[in-house]
Structure 1
Amino acid sequence: MPVTPLPAAGLPGSQSGKSVLPAQNAGQGNGAGKSTTGTGSKSSAGNGTGSGSQPVKPLNLNLNLNGPSINMPLIRPQNEGGRQAQEEGYVRAQRDSVTRAIYSMWEASQVKQRIERYGKMSFPTNSHGDPMYGRVRLRLLVNGRDGSLAESDIISPSGNPEFDDAVLLLVRRAAPFGPASKDIWDENGQILLLMWASFQKDQVVWSR
């Protein structure tokens, strides 16, 4: 038998411009452009639909680029010729009473006395020829075999660059120093000296 079509008024949501599908949630289809949750003018996916919708604003994460960051330490291979090894050699050279005595005797007789002797002949003076006084901490790296100076620098300056330069020049002119016993050499055959030198009234006063 022929199928009689139902009247249009009998279908839910058959008004003009609305879906013919039944509503899935309570309150759906009660106004154009509303979400399935019944709040705001955005769809359930966050995209604006219907009349009066606005562009979606980007998400603000409030990133602080000036905040603390994670820094991975740079691991360098151990360099036997570097300062770390030299410092270790300095400690090893004085590891017991015997080597400390050998170290101190060589330092006093071969290094300090020679610098003092040159200091008496050529005491640090300024550009006008006037003597300069001050206190500096010296770092000297000496080749143990022949006493030649491998490195020299001031690790605690006096505050007067002209005086510091004059002291370094005096030390370099005093080298080479006497050869040292192998008992106080490091792995590179060198000896590190760390000492204070006070230049006062035409004399040099040493201290650790």
Structure 2
Amino acid sequence: MLRTSLRNLAIVSVLAGSAMLANATMNPDVGGAPMYATKNIVENAVNSKDHTTLVAAVKAAGLVDTLTGKGPFTVFAPTNAAFAELPKGTVDTLLKPENKAMLVKVLTCHVVAADAMSKAIKKMIKDDGGMHKIKTVGGCELTAMRKGKKIMIKDEMGDVATVTIADVKQSNGVIHVIDKVLLPKG
């Protein structure tokens, strides 16, 4: 009986370890934290030390319920460093309650109502002759391009972000980490 229990415990341990290893090989760490395909976008993002500004902005904009919803969503997630590159005072201004509508517009210009992994994005870019137009939830039009093996995303202002970490699978979509904040026209 003890031998059977020990064997069952060993099997459970191996299975649990295999499940953790499978997630680790499927999803890269982001901001020093593991990203779990079984968690939604917000549940994972709150653990990334590189996305504290994005998480604060999502909360201030009232978008937590949306991004914990069913989806699917593709989120181009700017890092803290990307937000820091904006002109001085921009983030503080956007986080003020009276600027909530603009904050929502900026954030939803990073969200696409689809589950688009990098392989699919690269195929769309190729199929469209090197540039693929993307409509966002916020009504912005982004342009996906490639530079070597990297996916680049151009916003409506003509600025270009690089996808630095692709294919971070979520239970309700996918996150692609980017190095610039994407901005809508005017």
- Shorter-chain TM-score: what band? under 0.3
User: Which structure exhibits the higher relative contact order, with contacts defined as CA atoms closer than 8 Å and separated by 6 or more residues?
Assistant: 2
TM-score (norm 1): 0.22
Larger Rg: 1
TM-score (norm 2): 0.24
Bigger proportion of residues as strand? 2
Bigger proportion of residues as helix? 2
